């Protein structure tokens, strides 16, 4: 899964720390894998908000000067990979507004499914939107609410929206965390130097030497202010639906879920994959970097030697200029190269975590064959991705998902591989050791836990 199509967003919030902006910056840096398109930090001092946003990477956007323009001891941050709204600076988050009740900033991870209809209604009543993000809908709903306290206005707004959302909100005197009733996207609560922190993943705590307290619960609102921390319930749902793809691909491998690292979970996927889809071979190689952990598990379980047969180029830039007399597989070649003497004459098992369009996998199979591989057995550490995600993972439309068009045999033919096999859904959950009923598996099963409007094009 070389293609950069599954990233989503990362959020962070800090309350009461004298270096709120710097901690937010480091937290975002640790969450960079969740979005590389844009990043932003908002802090608050004396009821005034300070905003810095930019396109690109956290380490490039936030210079010393830039952080110096972010005073105050409360702040929130966001890294974004656009899944809704086009890729413009004006869509960079956190979204900041001044409305009748004061300043407000919101950072959102996830995707709403009814934002279009709500937006349309609000516009008819005279609201003017400044961005095309679904997040702005939430803000307008808050501004429209006639409730007295901020949290009540927030709850009234949330009652109208449907979809996946982990929110971190900054008001002039509080930081608030919200997780949608299904808990689709992660959000955790921790502490650093005695101050509360909200973040998408535990890896953000590691870098700033914080400690993990607990997950924000599905449907929970956590309000952090000068009175301490308070928890309110949005409303309850019978079941939760945590995104299984967070474990398969999105999360950083050192982040902790259900008391295990994503690394350990993914390696277990690989072991289970070896059990389910064993094959005679000389060498196991990962598709870097997405297949690495499953490949280690597969190699260990199967006893076949693990090698890094594909080398990733560390200096990949944004674009590459190709000669007119074009180079075969140019797009993949500038990123990866085959180590020939590791592959030549070998029966190769190539592991990846998923197959989306299949085009990159096909090029890799060919590159291995050209390098002299006798056989290429592709193994995938998750079930076939048949359905698109509407909850924040940037998958393509259904017709572009190869597994929605072909059987496993058909895909194998398309790839030109010797054999192809996927991890079963049962195998997947056996590895997770946590009830399947708690997860969203829509991309494999087509069972969407949060109802979609009928106009959604699947």
DSSP letters for 62-95: --HHHHHT--SSEEEEEEE--SSS-S-GGG-SSE
Residues 252-281, interacting with its own copies (CB under 8 A):
252-254, 260-261, 263-264
CA 166 to chain centre: 12
- By beta-carbon proximity to its own copies, the closer residue of 191 and 451 is 191
What phi and psi, each to the nearest 5 degrees, are found at residue 265? -65, -45
Residue position matching structure tokens 């900054």: 170
Closest separation in Å from C-beta 128 to its own copies: 5
Total Cβ atoms within 10 A of residue 89: 12
Residues 392-451, interacting with its own copies (CB under 8 A):
none
Closest separation in Å from C-beta 40 to its own copies: 15
Among positions 86, 211, 236, 313, the unique one binding its own copies when judged by CB under 8 A: 313
The reply on whether position 303 binds its own copies by CB under 8 A is no
Among positions 3, 5, 16, 36, the unique one binding its own copies when judged by CB under 8 A: 36
Task: Report d(CA 137, CA 112) in Å as an integer.
Answer: 9
Closest separation in Å from C-beta 418 to its own copies: 23
Catalytically annotated residues: 9
Among positions 320, 413, 435, 446, the unique one binding its own copies when judged by CB under 8 A: 320
Which of the ranges 161-169, 228-236, 321-329, 410-418 carries the binding residues for its own copies, by CB under 8 A?
321-329
Secondary structure class of 245 (helix, strand, coil): helix
- By beta-carbon proximity to its own copies, the closer residue of 283 and 393 is 283
Residues 172-231, interacting with its own copies (CB under 8 A):
193, 203, 206-209
**DSSP letter (8 states) at residue 247:** I
Which of the ranges 175-183, 314-322, 402-410, 427-435 carries the binding residues for its own copies, by CB under 8 A?
314-322
- By beta-carbon proximity to its own copies, the closer residue of 146 and 238 is 146
Q: Is 364 exposed, middle or buried (0-12, 13-18, 19+ CB in 10 A)?
A: buried
Closest separation in Å from C-beta 99 to its own copies: 5
Under 8 Å between Cβ of 327 and 333: yes
Which of the ranges 3-11, 30-38, 228-236, 276-284 carries the binding residues for its own copies, by CB under 8 A?
30-38
Size of the site for its own copies (CB under 8 A): 81
Cβ contacts of 301 within 8 Å, gap of 6 or more = 270, 271, 274, 275
The reply on whether position 67 binds its own copies by CB under 8 A is yes
| Paired tokens of 227 | 């009175």
Residue position matching structure tokens 């001044």: 98
Task: Report d(CA 166, CA 34) in Å as an integer.
Answer: 13
- By beta-carbon proximity to its own copies, the closer residue of 334 and 452 is 334
Cβ contacts of 411 within 8 Å, gap of 6 or more = 355, 358, 384, 402, 403, 420
Among positions 4, 48, 59, 397, the unique one binding its own copies when judged by CB under 8 A: 59
In sequence order, what are the beta bridge partners of 231?
222
Which of the ranges 214-222, 247-255, 357-365, 443-451 carries the binding residues for its own copies, by CB under 8 A?
247-255
The reply on whether position 296 binds its own copies by CB under 8 A is yes
Residues 96-155, interacting with its own copies (CB under 8 A):
97-100, 120, 123-124, 126-130, 139-140, 143-145
Closest separation in Å from C-beta 50 to its own copies: 13
Cα Rg of the chain (Å, integer): 23
Q: Using alpha carbons only, give the angle 74, 75, 76 rounded to the nearest 5 degrees.
A: 150
Closest separation in Å from C-beta 398 to its own copies: 28
């Amino acid at each position: 899964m070389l293609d950069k199509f599954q990233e989503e967003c990362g959020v962070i919030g800090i309350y009461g720390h004298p270096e709120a902006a710097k901690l937010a910056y480091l937290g975002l840096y640790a969450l960079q894998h969740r979005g590389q398109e844009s990043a932003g930090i908002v802090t608050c001092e004396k009821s005034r908000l300070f905003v810095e946003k930019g396109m690109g990477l956290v380490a490039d956007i936030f210079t010393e000067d830039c952080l110096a323009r972010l005073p105050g001891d409360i702040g929130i941050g966001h890294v974004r990979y656009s899944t809704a709204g086009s890729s413009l600076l004006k869509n960079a988050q956190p979204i900041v507004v001044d409305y009748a009740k004061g300043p407000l900033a919101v950072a959102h991870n996830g995707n709403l499914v009814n934002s279009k209809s709500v937006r349309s209604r609000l516009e008819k009543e005279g609201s003017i939107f400044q961005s095309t993000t679904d997040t702005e809908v939430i803000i307008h709903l808050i501004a429209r609410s006639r409730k007295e306290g901020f949290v009540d206005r927030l709850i009234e707004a949330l009652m109208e929206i449907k979809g996946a959302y982990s929110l971190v909100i900054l008001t002039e005197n509080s930081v608030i965390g919200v997780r949608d009733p299904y808990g689709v996207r992660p959000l955790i609560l921790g502490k650093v130097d005695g101050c509360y922190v909200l973040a998408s993943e535990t890896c953000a705590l590691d870098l700033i030497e914080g400690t993990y307290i607990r997950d924000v619960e599905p449907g929970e609102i956590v309000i952090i202010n000068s009175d301490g921390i308070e928890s309110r319930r949005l409303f309850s749902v019978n079941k939760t639906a945590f995104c299984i793809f967070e474990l398969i691909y999105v999360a950083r491998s050192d982040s902790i879920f259900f008391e295990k690292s994503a690394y350990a979970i993914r390696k277990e996927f690989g072991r289970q994959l070896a059990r389910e889809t064993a094959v005679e071979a000389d060498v196991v190689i990962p598709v870097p970097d997405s297949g690495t952990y499953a490949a280690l598990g597969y190699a260990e379980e199967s006893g076949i030697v693990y090698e890094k047969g594909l080398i990733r180029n560390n200096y990949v830039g944004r674009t590459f200029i190709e000669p007119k007399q074009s180079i075969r597989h140019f797009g993949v070649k500038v990123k990866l190269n085959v180590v020939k003497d590791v592959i030549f004459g070998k029966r190769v098992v190539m592991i990846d975590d998923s197959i989306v369009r299949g085009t990159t996998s096909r090029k890799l199979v060919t590159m291995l064959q050209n390098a002299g591989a006798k056989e290429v057995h592709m193994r995938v550490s998750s079930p076939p991705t048949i359905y698109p995600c509407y909850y924040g993972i940037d998958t393509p439309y259904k017709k572009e998902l190869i597994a929605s068009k072909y059987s496993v045999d058909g895909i194998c033919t398309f790839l030109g591989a010797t054999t192809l096999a996927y991890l079963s859904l049962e195998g997947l959950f056996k590895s997770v050791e946590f009830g399947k009923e708690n997860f969203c598996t829509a991309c494999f099963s087509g069972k969407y836990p949060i109802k979609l409007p009928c106009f959604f094009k699947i």
